[in-house]
């Protein structure tokens, strides 16, 4: 069985980061280790605020112990991080706990709709950029891509301009730079990926639903990281992650009790497992 470790916060309520990554990647049949970077009462988009307990000081001791125990990982996946120090610790994880052929996957989860999430300093995107440069695969949304490249945020960039934006993020070790939430006309949404070594682009789109939800970036990133860890190719991984994220949104739209608690991914897990089973039955290794 493959083994991944994911490093991000645990928000006790609000379905994001670890409460999304752990169940999704486990359901994909991958052993999932975690490093919780902070404990929050809930994610930071709740209007009444949130509590935040930083766990940075715990992490060097965890890594030292892991060295003693001889742990190695097939993949390291980083998500929401709270500080420059935590960015440095992710770089240590990438450098010290993976072999050359392992996957280093970074979701620079820090901003959306043109704005940084609450609590981040204006210089934080440059720290996150250092993490991304050490990763093989990065999955920024448009706001994050703009912040890391110093590009003004606009929602009306043309396809060619978006291609240039993600190409410019493919520096350092990056093999695939994947823009999430990429539009295709008015009614399709998906991903646009720059493949650095082929110097080529891949894209995949599905239906755009007429609502926006919190936490879909974490669903997409967790599925994509899991799929690549299982050995799916970049196109298959992008398709699975987009289709599953859409399925989660559809389940949420059908829920009369839906709230600001992220999407109902729990109800879509059978879809995810079913897609992986179909692939296994078609003779492709998973
Ligand atoms: O979904 C990204 C995310 C992760 N963790 C925390 C957040 C957010 C987005 O708001 O607040 C704590």
> What is the residue extent of each domain of the chain?
3-281
Over residues 98-119, the mean pLDDT reads: 96
Question: How many Cβ atoms sit within 10 Å of the Cβ of residue 100?
Answer: 4
Beta strands in the chain (DSSP E): 3-13, 31-42, 52-54, 73-78, 98-106, 111-112, 115-116, 137-138, 176-184, 188-195, 200-207
Residue 216 beta carbon below 6 angstroms from any ligand 1 atom: no
Share of the chain above pLDDT 90, in %: 92
CB atoms near residue 67 (< 10 Å): 10
Instruction: Judge whether residue 259 has pLDDT over 80.
Output: no
Q: What is the pLDDT of residues 168-183, one digit of tens each?
A: 999 999 999 999 999 9
d(CA 275, CA 101): 25
Pocket flag, ligand 1, residue 28 (CB < 6 Å): no
Q: How confident is the model at residue 284 (pLDDT cuts 50, 70, 90)?
A: confident
Average pLDDT, whole number, for the chain? 96
Our answer on whether the CB atom of 9 is closer than 6 Å to any ligand 1 atom is: yes
> pTM for the full model?
0.97
Pocket test for ligand 1, best of 9, 22, 112, 181 (most atoms within 8 A of CB): 9
Report phi then psi at 186, rounded to 5.
-85, -20
- Token pair for residue 41? 């009462």
Whole-angstrom distance, CA of residue 240 vs CA of residue 248: 12
Q: Is 109 in the pocket of ligand 1 (CB under 6 A)?
A: yes
- Cα 279 to chain centroid distance, Å, stands at 23
Confidence at residue 286, expressed as pLDDT on a 0 to 100 scale? 57
DSSP class of residue 283 equals: T
The per-residue pLDDT for range 3-15, each reduced to its tens digit, is: 999 999 999 999 9
3-state helix, strand, coil in the chain (%, to 5): 40, 25, 35
CA of 271 relative to ligand 1 center, distance in Å: 25
DSSP string, 44-67: TT-TT---EEE-GGGHHHHHHHHH
Query: Beta strand 73-78 with 3-13: parallel, antiparallel or unpaired?
Result: parallel
CATH of the domain spanning 3-281? 3.40.1190.20
Residue 20 has pLDDT above 80, yes or no: yes
* Nearest residue (CA) to ligand 1, atom 8: 43
Residue 160 CA: distances (Å) to CA of 33, 182, 189, 192, 194: 39, 12, 16, 11, 12
pLDDT at 109 over 90: yes
Token pair for residue 148? Answer: 């890391």
**Ligand 1 centroid, distance to 110 Cα (angstroms):** 7
DSSP 185: T
Q: Residue 246 and residue 250: Cα distance in Å, rounded?
A: 6
Euclidean distance between CA atoms 191 and 241, whole angstroms: 10
Q: What is the pLDDT of residue 13?
A: 95
What are residue 35's DSSP bridge partners? Answer: 7
- Closest CA relative to residue 194, chosen from 211, 217, 209, 175: 175
Banded pLDDT at 261 (limits 50, 70, 90): confident
Structure tokens belonging to residue 231: 């050995």
pLDDT over 90 (residue 47) = no
pLDDT digits (tens, 9 = 90+) for 118-159: 999 999 999 999 999 999 999 999 999 999 999 999 999 999
Q: Which residues of 111-150 are buried (b: 16+ CB within 10 A; e: fewer)?
A: bbeeebeeebeeebbebbbebbbbbbbbbbbbbbbbbbbe
For 204-235, the pLDDT digits (tens) are 999 999 988 999 999 999 999 999 999 999 99
CA distance 278 to 282: 6
């Amino acid at each position: 069985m493959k083994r991944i470790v994911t490093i991000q916060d645990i928000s006790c309520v609000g379905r994001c980061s670890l409460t999304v990554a752990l169940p999704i990647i486990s359901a994909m049949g991958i052993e999932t280790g975690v490093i919780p970077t902070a404990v929050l009462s809930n994610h930071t988009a709740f209007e009444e605020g949130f509590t935040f307990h930083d766990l940075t000081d715990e992490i060097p001791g965890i890594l030292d112990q892991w060295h003693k125990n001889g742990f190695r990982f097939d993949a390291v996946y980083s998500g929401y991080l709270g500080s420059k120090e935590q960015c440095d610790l992710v770089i240590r994880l990438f450098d010290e706990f993976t072999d050359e052929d392992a996957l280093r996957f970074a979701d620079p989860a820090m901003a959306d709709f043109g704005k940084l999430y609450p609590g981040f300093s204006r210089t934080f995107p440059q720290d996150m950029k250092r993490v991304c440069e050490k990763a093989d695969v990065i999955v920024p949304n448009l706001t994050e891509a703009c912040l890391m490249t110093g590009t003004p945020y606009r929602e009306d960039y043309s396809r060619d301009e978006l291609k240039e934006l993600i190409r410019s993020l493919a520096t350092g070790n990056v093999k695939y730079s994947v823009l999430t939430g990429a539009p295709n006309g008015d009614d399709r949404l998906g991903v646009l990926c720059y493949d650095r070594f082929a110097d080529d682009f891949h894209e995949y789109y599905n239906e755009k639903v007429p609502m926006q939800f919190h936490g879909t970036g974490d669903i997409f990133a967790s599925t994509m990281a899991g799929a690549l860890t299982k050995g799916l190719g970049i196109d298959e991984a992008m398709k699975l992650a987009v289709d599953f994220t859409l399925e989660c949104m559809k389940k949420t739209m059908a829920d009369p009790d839906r709230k600001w608690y992220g999407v109902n991914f729990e109800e879509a897990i059978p879809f995810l497992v079913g897609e992986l089973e179909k692939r296994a039955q078609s003779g492709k290794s998973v």
